[in-house]
């Protein structure tokens, strides 16, 4: 992948200014843009998640999708509770709100393109749930993580608890949920909640290095690995779908290119076909 400064940025239209989508070469970006509320996710932002991920996931040029928060103070600080009085004030409105959330969670789970969460600042509540859906999580040393459900008297979504348990294990998941504490980046890394911790000024370069590494490899192979691992860890996807993708890999032009490149002792050039 070329240096980011040499690659033009293409803006992807969104239905709300609180979500920014763009592509830059092989990298797609989904940016939570509600900085005055520390990127708390409002209803229009939840609605935009499946639209953005669907668009980026269908783009054959996009090999990696990075999720980040605008403003530098937060990745996502949670759901926008200020809207609950309007959008969750009774059973009917709560049901509509839940339907929107369910579509967002499904889009995050179903995205076949690798997801990278670039985290700085607060990652609380729904922010943790969104980060859990990423395949790789990179945080700055100043980041903080918390699931405060037990202090608010609410429950955390079952699917998100399942994702948390598969990532950090039952004992640590219980401590995170029971304590409702805020954990710094170092402790989150020790628990397995974060894959890499970097200095604040190094987040962009760290994400660029990850994106470069993933973009250089065969997209079909990565999709198969992602689907298979998610199925093993959380039961996402069907075995038949995984086996079908494995067969596609063996019939792909990328498989032939990989063999030729190995024999020629040169880097492969994959196209995703």
Q: What is the mean pLDDT of residues 27-44?
A: 96
pLDDT band of 91, cuts 50, 70, 90: low
- What's the rounded Cα separation, in Å, for the pair 227 and 231? 6
The token pair that represents 12 in the structure block:
């992807």
pLDDT band of 166, cuts 50, 70, 90: very high
The token pair that represents 26 in the structure block:
């092989």
Q: Which of 94, 3, 78 is nearest to 42 (CA)?
A: 78
pLDDT(188) > 70? yes
pLDDT digits (tens, 9 = 90+) for 100-146: 999 999 999 999 999 999 999 999 999 999 999 999 999 999 999 99
Structural element, H or E, at residue 122:
strand 122-124
pLDDT digits (tens, 9 = 90+) for 202-238: 999 999 999 999 999 999 999 999 999 999 988 887 8
Q: Which of 54, 53, 66 is nearest to 25 (CA)?
A: 66
SS3 assignment, position 116: strand
pLDDT(88) > 80? no
Q: What is the pLDDT of residue 239?
A: 86
pLDDT band of 1, cuts 50, 70, 90: very low
Has this prediction a pTM greater than 0.85?
Answer: yes
The token pair that represents 119 in the structure block:
């985290």
What is the length of the chain?
A: 273
Residue with tokens 């969460």: 117
* E strands, 121-179, in order: 122-124, 136-140, 144-146
Q: Using H for helix, E for strand and C for coil, what is the string for 6-18?
A: HCCEEEECCCCCC
Q: What is the pLDDT of residue 84?
A: 61
Q: What is the pLDDT of residue 87?
A: 57
């Amino acid at each position: 992948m070329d240096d980011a400064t040499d690659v033009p940025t293409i803006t992807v239209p969104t239905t709300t200014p609180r979500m920014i989508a763009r592509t830059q070469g092989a990298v797609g970006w989904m940016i939570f843009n509600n900085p005055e509320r520390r990127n708390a996710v409002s209803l229009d932002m939840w609605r935009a998640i499946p639209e953005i991920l669907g668009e980026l996931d269908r783009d054959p040029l996009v090999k990696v999708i990075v999720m980040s928060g605008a403003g530098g103070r937060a990745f996502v600080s949670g759901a926008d509770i200020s809207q609950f009085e309007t959008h969750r004030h009774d059973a009917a409105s709560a049901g509509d709100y839940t339907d929107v959330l369910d579509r967002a969670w499904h889009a995050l789970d179903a995205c076949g393109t690798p997801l990278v969460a670039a985290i700085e600042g607060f990652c609380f509540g729904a922010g943790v749930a969104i980060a859990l859906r990423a395949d790789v999580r990179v945080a700055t040393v100043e980041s903080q993580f918390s699931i405060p459900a037990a202090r608010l008297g609410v429950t955390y979504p079952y699917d998100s608890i399942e994702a948390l348990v598969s990532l950090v294990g039952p004992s640590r998941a219980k401590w995170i949920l029971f304590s409702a504490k805020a954990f710094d980046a170092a402790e989150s890394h020790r628990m397995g909640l974060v894959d890499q911790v970097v200095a604040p000024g190094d987040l962009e370069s760290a994400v660029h290095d990850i994106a470069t590494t993933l973009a250089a490899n065969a997209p079909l192979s990565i999709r198969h690995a992602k689907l298979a691992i998610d199925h093993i860890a959380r039961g996402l996807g069907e075995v038949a779908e995984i086996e079908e993708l494995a067969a596609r890999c063996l019939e792909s032009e990328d498989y032939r290119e990989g063999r030729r490149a190995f024999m020629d002792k040169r880097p492969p050039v994959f196209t995703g076909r």
